[in-house]
Structure 1
Amino acid sequence: MFDLADVTKFIFSFFLIMPMVTFIHLSGHLFCAAIFGGKGKKLTLGCGNKLFSILKMDIKKYYFWNGHCEFDKLQVNHPFKSVMIYLGGALFNLISIFIINGLIFVDILNNSIFWYQFIYFSFYIMFFSLFPMYFSDGSPSDGQAAILSIKKQEKDIVTGDVIIKKEKKD
C-alpha cells in the first residue's frame, strides 16, 4: 500500500537519486568521447534556465529532469568510436550497478532503500537509452544511434543526451 512514507521516498528518489544516475550516464558518454579525442566537452544536468555552472557542467532549474552532454566532432570518425560513445552512458550505469552490488555484498554499504532505488533508476535509464527507437522529436535513442553508426547511416546524429557540435567554418 502506498502511504505518506512512500511519498517521502518518491520525492527523495526523483530529486536526488535520479540526477545522480543521470550524471553517471552522461559522464559515461563524455568519458568515451574524451578517450576518442572529443574536445570542448560539456555536461548539462536538467532543463530550463541555467542556475549555475561548476567547471564544465551547467546545472539547470529542473536539474532532476533529463540532461545532455556535448563535445566537438571527432577528428577521425569511425563506427566503433561512435558506438562506444553512444553506449558509454549505459556502460557507466551498468558499472555503477556492479560496484554498488559488490559493496553491499562485502558489507561496505548497507542494503538500503537508497541503493535499491539507485539500482532501479540505473536499470531504467539503461533500458530506455539502449532500446533501439526514435523519440517523438525524431532523435534516436543511444541504442538506435549505435545501430545507425554500425550501418554507417549516421549523419550528425543527435540523441536525447549526446550532442556532437558541428565543425566551425571560418
Structure 2
Amino acid sequence: MFGISDLPKFFLAFFLVMPLISILHEGGHVFFAWLMGGKNIKVSVGTGKPIFKWKMIEVRKYYFWYGMCTFENLKINQRWSNILIFGGGSLFNFLGVLAVMILVEEQLIETNMFTYQFTYFSLYYIFFALFPMPYPDGNYSDGKIILDLMQNKKFAVTERIFRVQWNAEKNQWHVLNHDQEFVEAFENEEEACSKAKEVAEKYKPSRVINVKDGEEKEIHNFPRVPL
C-alpha cells in the first residue's frame, strides 16, 4: 500500500528517471536524423521557457515533461529513412531497457528502485510514443507517423505550402491552400496571414508563404517533429 514514505520514490521517478528516459528517447531520433544527413538538428528537453542551451541541446523550465527533436534537409529523405527517424526514439528506449535487464541478469548491477522505475517508465514511454494517435496541438505520435508512412501516405512528412497572395486586380489578399486552391479573401494582409497560419497549423508539416510582386517570403513554419 502507498504511504508517506513512498513519496521520495515518486520524486525520483518524475524528476530524475523520466527526464533520463526522455533524453534517451530524443537521442534515438537525433541519431537516425544525423545518420540520414539531417542538418540543423536540435533537441528540446522539457517544455516551457528555455533556461539552458548548449550546442544542439536546449533544456526548458519543466525539464521533466515532454521533449522533441527538430531537423532540416535530410540527405536521405525516403519513406524507410523517416520510419527509422520517427521510430528511433522508442528503439533507443527499448535498447535501454534491454541493457538494464542484461546487467541485472549478469549480476553486474543490483535490482533496485531506479532499475525498476527505469524499466517501467521506459515501457510506458514506448507505448504512448508508438500508439497511433493525433495530439491536440496538431502533432501526431511517432506511431501515427510511422503507420501513415507504412501506408504510403506521403503527406505524413511531405511539407505542404499555404500562400497569402496579393491579387492586384481585385485589390485583395487571397489565402491559397497547398493545392493552390482559393480559401478566403481579405482586405487586410495581417488577417490573411492569420487565416493562413490557422489553416496550415492543422496540416503539419507545412509552411506559410507571403507572395507579392512575384516574390515569396516565408512567414511561418509548422514542422512535423519526432516527439
Shift in Å, 1:160: 5.9
Q: Per-residue CA shift, 1:4-42, capped at 9, x if unaligned?
A: 121110011100000000000010011011111111111
Q: Partner amino acid for 1:24?
A: L
Change (3 A) 1:29 1:160: closer
Contact 2:40 2:72 in 1 (8 A): yes
User: Which structure carries more helix by proportion?
Assistant: 1
Shift in Å, 1:75: 3.2
Return 5+ residue gaps in structure 2 as ranges: 160-204, 206-223
2-structure distance, mates of 1:39, 1:160: 15
Return 5+ residue gaps in structure 1 as ranges: 162-170
Match of 2:87 in 1: 87
2-structure distance, mates of 1:105, 1:125: 23
2-structure distance, mates of 1:152, 1:73: 20
Match of 2:27 in 1: 27
Q: Partner amino acid for 1:11?
A: F
User: Which structure carries more strand by proportion?
Assistant: 2
Match of 2:107 in 1: 107
Contact 2:70 2:226 in 1 (8 A): no
Match of 2:39 in 1: 39
SS at match of 2:59: strand
- 1:150-161 pair list within 5 angstroms: 150-153=150-153, 154=156, 155-156=158-159, 157=205, 158-159=224-225, 161=227
Match of 2:199 in 1: none
Q: Partner amino acid for 1:39?
A: K
Match of 1:168 in 2: none
Count of residue pairs the alignment pairs up: 161
Q: Partner amino acid for 2:55?
A: L
Percent of residue pairs identical: 36
TM-score (norm 1): 0.90
TM-score (norm 2): 0.68
Which runs of at least 4 in structure 1 moved beyond 4 Å after TM superposition?
none
Match of 1:118 in 2: 118
1-structure distance, mates of 2:146, 2:24: 19
2-structure distance, mates of 1:35, 1:160: 15
